[in-house]
Amino acid sequence: MSEQASVPDEALPSSEITRLGGLFSWQSILFVILSVCGLGMGLAYIFGIPLGGKRLLEGEYYWIFIGMFAAAAFIALPAYAGQKKIPVHDLVAAALALGISVVFAMKAWDIVQAGWYNVPMGIVVMLLMLELSRRSGGLPFLIVVIVLGAYPLIADRAPGLLMGIPYDFDRMVEAHIFRAEGMMGITTKIVAEIILGFLVFAGVLLATGAGDFFINLANAIFGRFRGGPAKVSVVASAFFGSLSGSIFSNIAGTGAITIPTMKRIGYPPHYAGAIEACASTGGVIMPPVMGAIAFVMAITLGVDYAVVMVAAIIPSLLYYFGLLLQVDAYAARNNLKGLPRDQLPKAGKTFLAGWPFLLVLVFLVWGLLYKRWEYYAPWYACLLMIGLSFLRRETWMTPLRLWETLRQIGILVTQTAAIILPIAFVVSGMTITGVTGSITSGLVTLGGGNLYLVVMFGIVACFIMGMAGLSIVAYIFLAVTMAPAIIELGGLNPIAVHFFILYYAMLAAITPPIAAAAFLAATIARSRPVQTSFTAMRLGVVIYIVPLFFLFQPALVLQGDLTPLVYVLPSIVIGIMLIAGGFEGYLLGFGKVRGLLRLPLAAAGFVFSFPGPMMTLAGGIASAIMVALVWFDNRSQRAAASA
């Protein structure tokens, strides 16, 4: 992918590297053919276009989609880091995935109506999916898929609340491969129907230059201010991450440009890497497009994607507000300037060149919120973007650019399918054994009926699963186990609870000891990974606390009575300002915060921002005292300097 051209292969996780070679290499040609066939079938199924005189059945389409993109994944994704050539056994695996899937597609009616299944071929499909899970998510992902997928074999021997209904091997294969609980269910629906159009939309935008436009736009707006390149990184990554839906693509795409610029004006390497890691992580929860987890949430909750998108607005803005405050505070404390105006693009010229991208995004949001087109909206937006591309010579959809676009789209869909499809085994293993209900009741019992203890156990579970790079798996697992327990025990808003789980599952990308996003950014920044990850934790502090806020105040996710926003939102905004001032040693509008005052200032800000009258009152008094102390301290420092 062009956005990754300047990043060495060893800097990227396996899910972000392809071995397709040149644009017209034989593997690229084969990959694009498979991708186009899969996308063509997707268009026919989603829009009800008849093929051969009849419309595709759901099972027919799902198996054709699985076959095409599983085969494409064995062509594109290397078996290990640095592998450039495609070995013969990978071609065999691709042929098996495609061939067996075609057979299953031909048997789709019998599978549904007569319960047809074939265990030997099902086992082959399982093994192929497990290998794709290793290539896309690494060894930790593979281990979780195997352990939870094979759980039905020992469910009756599991201890306590993990005990469930056992299945023999043949019945387990049947459930995992041929039934709606497994690969014919929600996971395939998510990638083959719900998010397919958004992945195509992201590919079209990136191929027509949206990534460069958003970086230029952020430079034009923020580049001249103190710490300008860092603010550019935050804003550009928010836009870029929302479009791509991938933390690692975001870091590789924008970080290769923004990290060296941040280092050039004085940010230490570990700090520059941490900024990019935090900004890219937040992009996945930034409307309007967001990441795959948002679509999973919409399906799990049974609501329109538009509901999830609207609910994400305030939390994501609070997160980026806190990140920008810390970036600005560091620049102010260390006297870091912005870039000279002559090195920055002109805002007017940038808008003039990039208005089609903004128009298409507005059209997409209009289609999602007003027209309720749901997963049809991105397809219509793609047509609009392709039409608008002909307004400028450099963005014309020429045959070469079309080929590049199809290749880019294929990479996005293939990588997404390779990591989401194997999750079907996890969902099936938890569903068919009936263990989700026992875990729910067990969590309530373990917490002694105390909501706060149950929430704490949930946070720990999110961290453990999320640190292995399994945010989607963690969300799906906890959405069907912990979410009902919290909702039932505390009577909390379901959307707020599911966002709470989503945030804590996702933020593990910047949390040690794994912190995959921070480690990747550290490689680009040439900094120490552990130092970078701990710095990312500090910079991303808002994302650790905001989920607790909207869990107990659903107005923050625009649910229920919105009146509390009148007094809750200002206290949170002020609290975040105090937290950022304490963590970075500079309070906006008051000056530097010296050592002994920093931690108490941050603590007062947290208490003040926590929803609840008593907490807000106590925090308000403490915050006023701390701000007064900071003001007097700075005044005395200036007086001493003058003397």
- What confidence category does residue 8 fall into, taking pLDDT thresholds of 50, 70 and 90? very low
Q: What is the pLDDT at residue 245? A: 64
DSSP 178: H
Q: What is the pLDDT at residue 464? A: 67
Measure CA 77 to chain center. 20
Q: What is the pLDDT at residue 9? A: 38
pLDDT in tens, 271-293: 999 999 999 888 878 887 776 67
pLDDT in tens, 486-499: 887 777 899 999 99
pLDDT in tens, 357-400: 889 888 988 887 788 787 788 899 999 998 988 888 777 888 88
Q: What is the pLDDT at residue 11? A: 36
Task: Tokens 């276009």: give the residue.
Answer: 49
Q: Which of 123-127, 309-313, 336-340, 393-397 has maximum average pLDDT?
A: 123-127
Of 500 and 464, more confident? 500
| 197 pLDDT more than 50 | yes
Going by C-alpha positions, the residue among 60, 101, 505 that lies closest to residue 281 is 505
Q: What is the pLDDT at residue 119? A: 94
pLDDT in tens, 542-557: 888 899 899 889 999 9
| 150 pLDDT more than 90 | yes
| Contacts of 134 by beta carbon, 8 Å cutoff, 6+ apart | 141, 142
pLDDT in tens, 314-336: 999 999 999 999 999 999 988 88
Instruction: Name the strand (E) or helix (H) holding 580.
Output: helix 565-584
Which of 99-103, 315-319, 443-447, 528-532 has the lowest average pLDDT?
443-447
- What confidence category does residue 437 fall into, taking pLDDT thresholds of 50, 70 and 90? low
pLDDT in tens, 575-623: 999 999 999 999 988 999 988 899 999 999 999 998 888 999 999 999 9
- What confidence category does residue 466 fall into, taking pLDDT thresholds of 50, 70 and 90? low
Beta partners for residue 592, in sequence order: 586
| Contacts of 312 by beta carbon, 8 Å cutoff, 6+ apart | 285, 286, 287, 290, 294, 499, 557
Burial per residue of 547-571, b for 16 or more beta-carbon CB atoms within 10 angstroms, e otherwise: bbbbbbbbbbbbbeeeeeeeebbeb
Average confidence (pLDDT) over 201-230: 83
| 529 pLDDT more than 80 | yes
Tokens at 458, concatenated: 């949930």
Rounded percentage of the chain residues whose pLDDT exceeds 70 = 92
Q: What is the pLDDT at residue 32? A: 95
Whether this model's pTM surpasses 0.75: yes
Q: What is the pLDDT at residue 12? A: 37
Tokens at 122, concatenated: 């099902």
Q: What is the pLDDT at residue 91? A: 96
pLDDT in tens, 380-391: 999 999 898 888
| 5 pLDDT more than 70 | no
Q: What is the pLDDT at residue 292? A: 64
- What confidence category does residue 69 fall into, taking pLDDT thresholds of 50, 70 and 90? very high
Q: What is the pLDDT at residue 340? A: 83
Of 225 and 247, more confident? 225
Tokens at 213, concatenated: 């436009």
Rounded percentage of the chain residues whose pLDDT exceeds 90 = 37
